[in-house]
Amino acid sequence: MVETRTIGIVGSGVIGAGWAVRVLSRGYEVVAWDPAPEAEQRLRDTVTRNWTSATKLGLFPGASPDRIRWAESPEALASAVDWIQESAPEDEAVKCPLLQRLAAASGPSTIIASSSSGLLPSQLQAGCAHPERVLIGHPFNPVYLLPLVEIVAGAQTSPAAVDAAIAHYDDLVMHPLVVRNEIEGYLSDRLQEAVWREILHLVNDGIATTDELDDALTYGPGLRWAGMGTNLTFHLAGGDEGMRHMLRQFGPALKLPWTKLEAPELTDELIEAMADGTTAQADGRSIAELERLRDEYVLAVMRSLRPLDLGAGRLVAEREARIHDAGQSTPPWQAGDTVATPLDLYDAPVEPDWVDYNDHMTESAFLLAFGWASDKLFRYVGIDEDYRASGHSFFTVETHINYLQEAALGDPLRFTTHVLGVDAKRLHFFHAMYHADTDELLCTTEQMLLHVDNNEGRTAVILPGPANALAAIAEAHADLPVPDQVGRVMNIPSRKQ
């Protein structure tokens, strides 16, 4: 059964709309409110525009851009949801009365999180009913892709509310960072602000253009920061002795007048210089075009970090695992279960990043899709994150793949699995990929896998749970006809002269 929740989104600007996309992609329902004229249609249009990026990151069962209801007032919203995310303008005079209205109309246990990027939660929760459930949940744009959310408690915020916030944002597959000391600007924005002020000084003094300064980050530190951040990166700069040697060697340079940490006077001339520089960088591209470009490269960076289990890449892998768990329509095998012949465990559309410039699946994407079918088989027999954490898994030693028909972007795919054989350490199976609407066979693969103990670095006997499940499946599949592609040998027959 798909879990469902209803999340309130108060304020539907860039941040509020980003929250709506993230919540909807999680498979939950959104109730939204914003006093601006035509705000509802703008929110729906923004969700539609950004849904492609959310789809590429991965959608949970039940995810739909249409699961938005509009509330007529903050009070109507507060009484209809189990979590409130406020994203009103960054102004205490606006936020405080709004939060008080939300607190008065919501249940005492409903958490109210403000998306503020710098205001003190103690000030925001003052005057609210049950202020112990009011806190900061500060995200980063685009909210539907970037996983960081800073949680900041006010003087009256309860530890239980902080724990609930951690669980809530973790459920949205984000990285909840608890700011242990209440401070203006929190952590990330204070770091960004230091760089931003130095940029303003360098432009103001005529040292560099906005384009040159962005290059100084995107081609260097920015790529490193995506996986390790500043501190661990500098730790590596010290060689085998790490940060200690780095500071002894380069620390004295901190005394040199390299930077100016106080912001310069924001004159008309500086404002124009910054605006002219970034306009030139945009090179005629619209905000929407630049947003799409940004989304594509953020996705690419995050996915490139996935196999290394670094930074946001770790959460991409975790999101994929959770989506597969949530969409597991067939429960794990139990002794005595009837086994389907063949197994039908996985279906999916052709994803945008599976296709080439002709919108057809690439060769590697077919194998990637079969990999997800294998993952469903493994989960069905009990090989999951816990099993792999114990050091045991399967290693593919041979693959034969046959491409029969093309598959295009968005085509619905259905996969079947035929277990051809299994013994103490080996697994032999056959996947078939079909067009789910026409039932046309598109591609097949035959694979041999060895069970390994990664801790010992050698092959190992399959553990009892999965071994029993695979034996039962193999027995049920023993009478299935052997597919024509099994055992096929590639060759060009020689011609006798």
Radius of gyration of the CA atoms of the chain, in A: 27
SS3 sequence of the chain: CCCCCEEEEECCCHHHHHHHHHHHHCCCEEEEECCCCCHHHHHHHHHHHHHHHHHHHCCCCCCCCCCEEECCCHHHHHCCCCEEEECCCCCHHHHHHHHHHHHHHCCCCCEEEECCCCCCHHHHHCCCCCHHHEEEEECCCCCCCCCEEEEEECCCCCHHHHHHHHHHHHHCCCEEEEECCCCCCCCHHHHHHHHHHHHHHHHHCCCCCHHHHHHHHHCCHHHHHCCCHHHHHHHHHCHHHHHHHHHHHHHHHHHCCCCCCCCCCCCHHHHHHHHHHHHHHHCCCCHHHHHHHHHHHHHHHHHHHHHHCCHHHHHHHHHHHHHHHHCCCCCCCCCCCCCCCCEEEEEEECCHHHECCCCEECHHHHHHHHHHHHHHHHHHHCCCHHHHHCCEEEEEEEEEEEECCCCECCCEEEEEEEEEEECCCEEEEEEEEEECCCCCEEEEEEEEEEEEECCCCEECCCCHHHHHHHHHHHHHHCCCCCCCCCCCCCCCCCCCC
Q: Give the pair of three-digit tokens for residue 125.
A: 């929760």
11 and 151 together in one domain:
yes
376 and 399 together in one domain:
yes
Nearest to 270 by CA among 218, 202, 324: 202
60 and 94 together in one domain:
yes
Confirm if 18 and 139 have CB atoms less than 8 A apart: yes
For residue 484, tell me if it sits in a domain: no
173 and 94 together in one domain:
yes
- Distance from C-alpha of 412 to C-alpha of 393, rounded to nearest angstrom: 29
For residue 302, tell me if it sits in a domain: no
Confirm if 348 and 434 have CB atoms less than 8 A apart: no
- Residue that finishes a domain, picked among 127, 156, 186: 186
Name the burial class of residue 61, with classes exposed (0-12), middle (13-18) and buried (19+) by CB atoms within 10 angstroms of its CB.
middle
For residue 297, tell me if it sits in a domain: no
347 and 448 together in one domain:
yes
- Residue that finishes a domain, picked among 124, 158, 186: 186
For residue 489, tell me if it sits in a domain: no
* Residue 13 identity (one-letter amino acid): G
Q: pLDDT tens digits, residue range 177-219? A: 999 999 999 999 999 999 999 999 999 999 999 999 999 998 8
- Distance from C-alpha of 68 to C-alpha of 28, rounded to nearest angstrom: 9
For residue 314, tell me if it sits in a domain: no
208 and 111 together in one domain:
no
152 and 29 together in one domain:
yes
Q: Compute, in degrees rounded to 10, the torsion defined by CA atoms 336, 337, 342, 346.
A: -140
CATH number for position 376: 3.10.129.10
443 and 406 together in one domain:
yes
For residue 103, tell me if it sits in a domain: yes
For residue 96, tell me if it sits in a domain: yes
How many domains is the chain built from? 3
- Distance from C-alpha of 153 to C-alpha of 161, rounded to nearest angstrom: 9
The ranges of the chain with pLDDT < 50 are: 1
- Residue that finishes a domain, picked among 186, 202, 230: 186
CATH number for position 246: 1.10.1040.10
Residue 139's contacts (CB-CB under 8 Å, 6 or more residues apart) are: 15, 18, 19, 115, 146, 148, 149, 174
397 and 271 together in one domain:
no
For residue 486, tell me if it sits in a domain: no
Neighbours of 1 (CB within 10 A): 4
Look at the block and give the residue holding tokens 């030693």: 397
* Strand 83-86 to 68-70 pairing: unpaired
> Model's pTM, two decimal places?
0.78
CATH number for position 143: 3.40.50.720
260 and 351 together in one domain:
no
Name the burial class of residue 441, with classes exposed (0-12), middle (13-18) and buried (19+) by CB atoms within 10 angstroms of its CB.
middle
**What pLDDT is recorded for position 487?**
92
64 and 75 together in one domain:
yes
140 and 35 together in one domain:
yes
Range of the domain at 398: 331-477
Q: 8 has which bridge partners? A: 31, 84
